[in-house]
Structure 1
Amino acid sequence: MNGLLSFSSNMFVVAFFLYCASFILFAVALMGRRWSNRDPVAHSKKWGKIAFAASSLGLIFHLIFFVTRWIGGKHIPVSNMYEFMSFLSMMVMVAFTVVYLIYRKTLLGLFAVPITIIIMAYAAVFPQEVQPLIPSLQSYWLKIHVTLAAAGESFFAIGFAAGFMYLIRTVDFKGTEKKAKRQQRWVEVVFFSVILVISFIATVFIFRSAGYESVFTQTKVTGQPGAEQTVTQTVSYKLPPIVGPYQSKVVSYEPFLGMSKPLFNAPSWMNGVNAGRKFNTIIWTFITGIILYAVLRLIARKPLGRAASPLMEGIDPDDLDEISYRAIAIGFPIFTLGALIFAMIWAEIAWGTFWSWDPKEVWALICWLFYSAYLHLRLSRGWQGGKSAWLSVIGFLVVMFTLVGVNLVIAGLHSYAGVD
């Protein structure tokens, strides 16, 4: 089976590069029409079809990866962060394919395909070994719960892409009045949020490729007065320690840029042996994110929203609004079944309770309530256009925090999922 799992990993890589090629082809379809000597519309349609064919071929290889890993691992590959994020990226492409076949909007690929690429790259950060299932995961409800939740979230991703495109299309980036300035700033915040995820992935890959590691031991005293117990645990840092663990000692330290020790230690209120390491990762993500954003601003010589705005010329904003709404309307009932109803059934079987106020459960409920409010405001209050687009963007940022922030920062029942 090791050979099959190796083949599966190769299919993942092939799919990733096909998606990257598809993204480039979508860019050629849209940007190249400006320099085409022939009919720009014909140019866009021709290259758009080629780009979609490349993305569809990538999806086929992605499906082969999923099936072969399932066979080789002897269980559905959604049981840890690597497998789940790989599956989510595949479902985003499935959702994109469905929506594209309905609306035939080439521009959607320029924003939807990168979401898949980023999620796949994010998945590759985590351990990729097939892990034996712990008892709570040995249930067919796992298959139903996780797959439906990911399917719903994938349509939310398409809704985000279309909603963000709507904002770039309609926000007045040349306006100087207060409302226009506020919208411009928030569009930049969304761009920066996406850049933070990319920066996290890039930073981890760079230092992992360099083989960086520093090791600390942390000693904690637990128990009641008079019956204290001392527990010593080892913490391994894969990024240079700007923040060291609370009350720790250095076992091995690899200097970086003249730093011979952490600048400071994590505060005592950060619970958990890995709290300092996670805080360190967050700091590095913001440092590299700010640098990458600044570089992109220097290249564009203008805010990123204003630089992207010309790509939307000739696009009907009403079509983007409709695509965003329809994608979320499709995803919401699927997410409801997977992330709430079947999740509670599985929780009862695995842990003996339908609801335990686990952080992941709470944030899944917050996502559901948010999209419930979105559909309510859209249907009963007529919140269309800009208001609806902002909600679709904010909603997916909440989803991403649920998938990224909760799993990596907040400890809970879902922290089993290979997040080292």
Structure 2
Amino acid sequence: MNWLSISSGAFITAFALYCVAFLLYVIAVIGRKWKNREPEGHLRKWGRIAFVFSSLGLAAHLVFFFTRWAGAGHIPTSNMYEFLTLLGMAIMIAFTILFAIYRSPLLGMFALPLTVLIIAYAAVFPQEVQPLVPSLQSNWLRLHVTGAALGEAFFAVGFAAGLMYLLRVTDYNDKSASARRSQRWLEFSLYVLIVVAGFIITVFAFRGSGYEASFVQENLSIDARGNEQLTTQTVEYQLPPIVKPHDSEPVSIQPFLGLDRPLFEAPGWMNGVNAGRKLNTVIWSVISGTILYGLLRLLARKPLGAAIHPLLDGIDPDDLDEISYRAIAIGFPIFTLGGLIFAMIWAEQAWGRFWGWDPKEVWALITWLFYSAYLHLRLSRGWHGLKSSWLSVIGFLIVMFTLIGVNLIIAGLHSYAGV
């Protein structure tokens, strides 16, 4: 049986079902604005239908996971594509658990697009099954990756609820300095998510058009005997090269909107043969996300937060605050085990040390410390509501930087994840 073919079909099915479920959750939530036209029971029916579709999407996602496992011969957690699809599946598991408790269709309206965004981002990476390198052939690695993904999934649901709380309580008619500052930071949080979406759209657009550019980069290294060695490597781009690799020459560049040569060179302190390409990706992410954000602002004719705010009228903000806290409280011990404890045990087996200050390790520790502070402030200082929700949003932005920013910007022992 061709397990990988089944897996690929299940992945596409899950993505489509998630998109449909999101639209149904939107109908269930937006319909509350017209209760006089739509009976309350009718709106609950839309919420139940949306939950059925999201559950079917999760079922297809589980089929994808286990058939890819069967086809690859190992648990699919060995590269960035597999980890991000696992994270998307974990978010849906966390959402399903919390939806079963709180029965809030509004949570689906925010959690589903986050899942869609993450698995769409996963599709940017190479999807071929890769053989496991020796350091990945460990049961501790499987526990580490699955535990970290599930913990981060609950953080994601906590973020969605926290963001909804901020959108619900922010008063866009208030012109005071503190209110304006809150409005700007909330708009910036939405902008960051749109930048990620813009990057995904840009990558698929250029990939679909078959865009290619390539450079030859020279690297000078010194061996153990002090002899200099000059090596050359070819770096392939799938986005127009705004920045070229350090010490490189172009081999071929397809012109795009008059851009037929790089505008500048990656700085020498950026290590790694793919440093220039990663910096180029970051620049394109900001450009495309900014354009997308500008278009949405033009359509809304107001800040995006102000456009979303009226949709949340009638929602009890205390419920959103409670959902956010419960999600993070569940995710924290899971992340502690998977993201830190199991990771250190695996690191000792693979590299002979429990801790090595690798960039991904450092940012995992920062994430853990941040959520530790969140729970401490929530329980001992009584930080509820606005302050707590801001922490849940900031915490997940740190998680997103750990997942995306570290792989695109910083080289380290975990760089294999971005190959």
TM range (shorter): over 0.9
The aligned amino acid for 2:33 is R
Once the two structures are TM-superposed, the CA of residue 349 in structure 1 deviates from its matched residue by 0.7
Match runs of 1:25-44 below 5 Å = 25-35=24-34, 37-44=36-43
Q: C-alpha separation between the residues in 2 aligned to 1:264 and 1:146?
A: 37
Q: C-alpha separation between the residues in 1 aligned to 2:154 and 2:92?
A: 9
Q: C-alpha separation between the residues in 1 aligned to 2:344 and 2:70?
A: 28
Q: C-alpha separation between the residues in 2 aligned to 1:328 and 1:40?
A: 34
Q: C-alpha separation between the residues in 2 aligned to 1:262 and 1:322?
A: 50
Q: C-alpha separation between the residues in 2 aligned to 1:277 and 1:199?
A: 17
Q: What are the ranges of 5 or more consecutive residues in structure 2 without an aligned counterpart?
A: none
Spell out, residue by residue over 1:301-357, the C-alpha distance to the aligned partner (whole angstroms, 9 max, x if none).
100000000111000000000000000000000000001111111111111110011
Contact 2:80 2:122 in 1 (8 A): yes
Once the two structures are TM-superposed, the CA of residue 36 in structure 1 deviates from its matched residue by 5.4
Identify the residue that residue 294 of structure 1 maps to in structure 2.
294
Identify the residue that residue 115 of structure 2 maps to in structure 1.
116
Root-mean-square deviation (Å): 1.3
Q: C-alpha separation between the residues in 2 aligned to 1:93 and 1:271?
A: 36
Aligned residue pair count: 418
TM-score (norm 2): 0.97
Once the two structures are TM-superposed, the CA of residue 380 in structure 1 deviates from its matched residue by 0.2
Identify the residue that residue 369 of structure 1 maps to in structure 2.
369
SS of aligned partner of 1:246: coil
Contact 2:271 2:411 in 1 (8 A): no
Spell out, residue by residue over 1:38-69, the C-alpha distance to the aligned partner (whole angstroms, 9 max, x if none).
45532321101110110001101111111111
Match runs of 1:7-406 below 5 Å = 7-35=6-34, 37-223=36-222, 227-406=227-406
Contact 1:22 1:54 in 2 (8 A): yes
Once the two structures are TM-superposed, the CA of residue 173 in structure 1 deviates from its matched residue by 1.1
The aligned amino acid for 2:23 is I
Contact 1:324 1:389 in 2 (8 A): yes
Contact 1:162 1:323 in 2 (8 A): yes
The aligned amino acid for 1:79 is S
Q: C-alpha separation between the residues in 1 aligned to 2:304 and 2:284?
A: 22
SS of aligned partner of 1:129: coil
SS of aligned partner of 1:216: strand
Contact 2:158 2:392 in 1 (8 A): yes
Q: C-alpha separation between the residues in 2 aligned to 1:227 and 1:415?
A: 27
Bigger mean CA deviation after superposition, 331-340 or 136-145: 136-145
Spell out, residue by residue over 1:88-142, the C-alpha distance to the aligned partner (whole angstroms, 9 max, x if none).
1000000000000001111110001111100110110011111100001111111
SS of aligned partner of 2:357: coil
The aligned amino acid for 1:268 is G
Q: C-alpha separation between the residues in 2 aligned to 1:43 and 1:183?
A: 36
Once the two structures are TM-superposed, the CA of residue 246 in structure 1 deviates from its matched residue by 1.6
The aligned amino acid for 2:181 is R
SS of aligned partner of 1:357: coil
Contact 2:91 2:150 in 1 (8 A): yes
Identify the residue that residue 413 of structure 1 maps to in structure 2.
413
SS of aligned partner of 1:415: helix
Contact 2:148 2:335 in 1 (8 A): yes
Q: C-alpha separation between the residues in 2 aligned to 1:338 and 1:264?
A: 41
SS of aligned partner of 1:122: helix
Calculate percent identity across the aligned residue pairs: 66
Q: C-alpha separation between the residues in 1 aligned to 2:189 and 2:226?
A: 52
Identify the residue that residue 5 of structure 1 maps to in structure 2.
4
Spell out, residue by residue over 1:265-319, the C-alpha distance to the aligned partner (whole angstroms, 9 max, x if none).
1122222221111111111111111100000000001000000001110000000
Contact 1:360 1:402 in 2 (8 A): yes
The aligned amino acid for 1:298 is L
Contact 2:243 2:276 in 1 (8 A): yes
Contact 1:44 1:106 in 2 (8 A): no
Q: C-alpha separation between the residues in 1 aligned to 2:361 and 2:295?
A: 38
Once the two structures are TM-superposed, the CA of residue 250 in structure 1 deviates from its matched residue by 1.2
Once the two structures are TM-superposed, the CA of residue 374 in structure 1 deviates from its matched residue by 0.1
Q: C-alpha separation between the residues in 2 aligned to 1:414 and 1:18?
A: 32
SS of aligned partner of 1:176: coil
Q: C-alpha separation between the residues in 2 aligned to 1:352 and 1:415?
A: 19
Contact 1:33 1:40 in 2 (8 A): no
Distance 1:293 1:71, change over 3 A: same
SS of aligned partner of 1:411: coil
Q: What are the ranges of 5 or more consecutive residues in structure 1 without an aligned counterpart?
A: none
Once the two structures are TM-superposed, the CA of residue 204 in structure 1 deviates from its matched residue by 0.7
TM-score (norm 1): 0.97
Distance 1:249 1:352, change over 3 A: same
Contact 1:112 1:161 in 2 (8 A): yes
Contact 1:16 1:117 in 2 (8 A): yes
